[in-house]
Amino acid sequence: MSEVKSSQDEEFREYVAARSAALHRAAYLLTGNWATAEDLVQTTLTKTYLAWSRIRTTDSIDAYARRILYNTNASWWRKRSNREKPTEVFEDRADLSRDFTEHAAVRDAMWRHIAVLPKRQRAVLVLRYYENRSDAQIAEILGISIGTVKSQASRALAGMRKRLGTPASALGVAMEPREAA
C-alpha cells in the first residue's frame, strides 16, 4: 500500500512541477494579486491532491485542476463580505509609472479596466485571450453555456471599449471577438 501511495505522490509532484507555473499565471490573471493567486493555486493543488487517486489515470488532470481553480475563485468572491474595490490610480505606484516602458503602461491600463469587470466577464476574458481557450472549453470550465460565454465576452469587450473610448486593437492587444473554435 505504501508503494502505491509513494508512486501516486511522485506522480503528483511531477504534475505540480510541470503545471504549477501555468496555474499561477491563470490565478494571477483572475485575481490581479500575486498573494491571492498563490493562495488560490495552493488551494487548487490541495483539492487536486485529495482527488489524485481518482483522477491520475485520466487524460483530463489539467482540466480537472483548472476547473477547481476557477470554481474556487468564484466561490471566494461569492463569500467575501468586504470586497476590495479597484481604483484608477495606485498611490504606491504613481511615482514609478514614469519609469515603466510604454508596453507596461498600456498593460497596466488594460488591467485596471479588466479589474472593474464583473467576475464572470473577467474569467471569460482571461480564459479566452490569455489562455487561448475555445468557447466550448470556457463553457465547460466555468459550468455555463456557450451562449453565456459569448454574451459575457461581448458585454465585457463593449464595456471596455466604452471606458477606453477606443477600440482595444488600438492599444496593441488582440481583444476583438474571434470565431468559436
The per-residue pLDDT for range 170-179, each reduced to its tens digit, is 544 444 444 4
Contact between 48 and 13 (Cβ < 8 Å): no
Calculate mean pLDDT across residues 77-82.
Answer: 58
- The cell numbers describing 20, all together, are 504549477
| Spatial separation of the C-alpha atoms in residues 98 and 93, rounded to whole Å | 10
The per-residue pLDDT for range 130-152, each reduced to its tens digit, is 888 999 999 999 999 999 999 99
Amino acid at 88: E
Does 108-171 match 2-79 at the fold level?
no
Instruction: Identify the pLDDT of residue 33.
Output: 87
Calculate mean pLDDT across residues 94-109.
Answer: 62
Q: Confidence band (pLDDT; 50, 70, 90) for 8?
A: confident
Return the CATH architecture of domain 108-171.
Orthogonal Bundle (1.10)
Return the CATH architecture of domain 2-79.
Orthogonal Bundle (1.10)
Instruction: Identify the pLDDT of residue 74.
Output: 86
The per-residue pLDDT for range 111-127, each reduced to its tens digit, is 888 888 898 999 999 89
Identify which has the larger pLDDT, 152 or 85: 152
What Cα–Cα distance (Å) separates residue 17 from each residue in 102, 135, 155, 166?
33, 28, 37, 41
For the cut 90, the answer to whether the pLDDT of residue 87 exceeds it is no
The per-residue pLDDT for range 51-77, each reduced to its tens digit, is 998 887 777 888 899 999 999 988 876
Q: Domain-by-domain residue ranges, the chain?
A: 2-79, 108-171
| Spatial separation of the C-alpha atoms in residues 110 and 29, rounded to whole Å | 12
